[in-house]
Amino acid sequence: MSRTRSLTTTSYAILGLLSVRSWTTYELAQQMSRSLGRIWPRAESKVYEEPRKLAEHGLAQATGERVGRRPRTRYAITPKGRLALRAWLAEPGVGPVLESEQLLQVFFAHQGSREDTLATLAATRAWAVGQNADNIAVGRAYLAGEGEFQTTVAQNMLVGAFLTEWYRVVAQWSDWAAQIVEQWPDDPSQAQPDLEALAQVVLRAQWSEQPDGP
């Protein structure tokens, strides 16, 4: 089961970009850190390395260019590459993976001070606000017709919408949690669970069993 793929999801991310147009490695790196990185974050050096792998597999073609005396490489997708991309799009992808050091710190808040936790929550909120601002900027660029992906706005907006909602719940949750933590005593390990809030959480968790919800 889960036959080891010769390409990683990161490979397909790059291949997907190549399906839109040809890119130099630097441009790919930019794009990853600016927009794609929000849903598939990878280090720059990876982005420099992956396209080479694609070329080895015949999914992309590398062309040497020259800027002054410096060489640079431009990659373009091949027909075989398009087929591989199509095949990947038909596969079941893995669900969202969430990783949060801050959430971990909240989980173990009983071992720290109340101020620690409030600071963490403030940082979380600030992060969400910042990300949202970036997201809006990217969106505006699309609408203004500047972005690369003019041909793919219909798809990109779905992802943009996802991010909007994501940043919003993070910020809302931070506010809500901070309100509760404010009530804690100085030593959080003595904090009593807020029963009213707890009941609310339980209620909200029922969404998937209810006939619906806005």
Partner DNA sequence: TTCTTCATGTAATTAGTTACATGATTGA
Partner DNA sequence: TCAATCATGTAACTAATTACATGAAGAA
Residues 119-148 that bind a second copy (CB under 8 A): 119-120, 123-124, 127-129, 131-133, 135-136, 139, 143
Q: How far is the CB of 212 from a second copy (least distance, A)?
A: 10
Q: Which is nearer to a second copy, 67 or 98 (CB)?
A: 98
Q: Does residue 75 belong to the site contacting a second copy (CB under 8 A)?
A: no
Distance CA 29, CA 37 (A): 9
Q: Hey, which residues does 67 pair with through a beta bridge?
A: 70
User: 141 φ, ψ to 5°?
Assistant: -60, -40
User: Scanning residues 41 to 60, which ones bind a second copy (CB under 8 A)?
Assistant: 41
Contacts 24+ apart (CB under 8 A), 187-193: 187/113, 187/114, 188/109, 188/110, 188/112, 188/113, 188/114, 188/117, 189/110, 189/111, 191/110
Q: Is 169:204 a contact under the CB 8 Å cutoff?
A: no
Which CB, 7 or 136, lies closer to DNA? 7
DSSP-derived letter for residue 152 is G
| 66 lines the binding site for a second copy (CB under 8 A) | no
Query: What's the min distance (Å) between Cβ of 50 and DNA?
Result: 7
Residue 167 contacts residue 128 (beta carbons within 8 Å) = yes
Rounded to a whole number of angstroms, the minimum distance from the CB of residue 99 to a second copy is 4
Pick what 26 binds: DNA, a second copy, none; C-beta below 5 to 8 Å, kind-dependent.
Answer: DNA
Does 94 contact a second copy by CB under 8 A? yes
Residue from 67, 99, 145, 196 binding a second copy (CB under 8 A): 99
